[in-house]
Structure 1
């Protein structure tokens, strides 16, 4: 058991050491070296955090655990994004990067994450059943998360409509996130279903497990906080040095680093035949991003010396609108709690198109396509709209879940 546990943990710890040595020694390496070293540290620490957060569910339950784990699990991504927003308060040239990282991580999560996980889950289900399975059916309990995501996605259209993320909107989104945590904490407790290294950590005796989980939390968080600033700056400097659009580097490379562990956890669920849990995990992450992350940006901007509103330029407004319409399609298509293969392939194809046609006009065309498909999905799933919007405000019990399953 010990060797199986050390096997995934040791490489991650080793990958963080060069970054710690550079930070402690006050060394500023060349941009490319810094990008590689601090990027590797962020990715490795993200895996450690993800495994520790999953394993912690064995020992902690209730509102406190949900709040702690929700914040810890998204720390890698938020550390980078909030650094950009905070720095933008005193250096306006950093304003575009805060929006870039947020929109990139959101579109990556839905366009790539949701799609790949569903395709894998359906392939596994087809192989096990001996017949072609064309859609993934989500558990009815996920309607609560979907309801919160629906509310947040509608509210998000305020940003492209006004061209800014105002402090008032930020506090409103943080309030919605707090309500989300409270609501989830009221759900009936279930035995955690762990996979991979998290399962090995969770299977340890209590005396060994708890110190290890705490140690992983502290170590990984320290590495991420130490690496966020040099990693973000190295991204920008590398783009400048090689003539690569810094906005695109921040938008896609940074989220790839921070989202990787979450993708891996979801893929492991799908491979083990737990497709509903895999998508449920990624939906929950989307709720966190649209509430906690977006809501925190104007606060970080203000603390960094900016005003009460993080004002976006035309490019950022387009990116935000594209992200919002993509999310609206995802929510609208899942209202019936069914994720068909065609939807996964459509989301993946539209996600890929933005790289083939990166211009301003193409972004608006994609927005229109997402909006048109979302409208069609809303009409098709119209009888599920009100139940989904009401789900965050209803008491959810096992009995209610069984009734919903029977009425499907």
Structure 2
């Protein structure tokens, strides 16, 4: 069993989802792929409200049974950022050799699937696993796509196609030209190695069905295993898939166990009684042309995927550059704040020193008894009168201290927050001193 955790984790790390949605999708995608082994993980750019976001996509084929024959339907499942409040986007993804069944009301012309579960989607209750299972049932009732090759074959059968002059393949260059030459030589070798079979008057479709998994044609052996998930991300699946004809029922298998039978694409009829050396040569040319077209499609798809990855990397690079500028600005502001704080601390120390010096100087300013007259002297010798004078001096000192703090705060010598806190404490002490002074004054007068 392939370990899907690192693949899914790597894909979700690059997607534009919330952390909660990433955790939920991780568990859900594991369940979906374990149940549908022909799906693989990709990242694509999706337009959401005039902006492009990186989202997760599952692409591959869904095996279904239509009239007791198995078909593989190519699909794409896209998870939007609003999932699971809104359903995922499910598309039938036909290749150029396929056409969409226009009589299937659940399939739109662009391939988007609109089955009942999507129409009646329940927020945070339904899952993509349920959607895929429901889609399989819907596809089994009414096939979503047909094969263009089957349609053209049925219309032209039983007439034998006339030999066409060999058309030179389009000129390619570089890596593509080398790949085309390699696959052309491989196709020729495979065509020469296949032994011709007996004549089959029933047509090429039954011949293709017999040479499926239950037949003897070795070309099908390489396509029976499930898709491996160890392939690189965004690599397209290259899986066999064949579809019924529009105007006829799908071919029936000769095997007794119909449920395990798979209908594969048609192969040329290598009949020794009907084909001459020139016919074999034309078949080889046709196989070479088909292989070249397949290589070209795979190559172009790889280029498209690489361009998407390059665009994603450019977006990430721009984001990192913006984050770098923001971090540099924050560091500069922090350094400036440290410098300003050091200056404020020095100013505060100077202010505190000046305040202490002023308090010490004013604490020695006691009334001179020699300058008092007789009545003042009597009041001064009265203990209550003496206390009154001390409280009066303390009151004046606190008032002067508060004025000095206000002036220092206005000149930005002391931070406003610290000045307000100190003023609050001074005013509380000043209030208590004034109350005591009034009480002592009344006692001194009564005595």
Q: TM-score range by the shorter chain?
A: under 0.3
More strand by share: 2
Q: Which has the larger radius of gyration?
A: 2
**Structure ranking higher on relative contact order (CA contacts 8 Å, 6+ apart):** 1
Q: TM-score scaled by structure 1?
A: 0.23
- Scaled by the length of structure 2, what TM-score is found? 0.21
Higher helix proportion (structure 1 or 2): 1
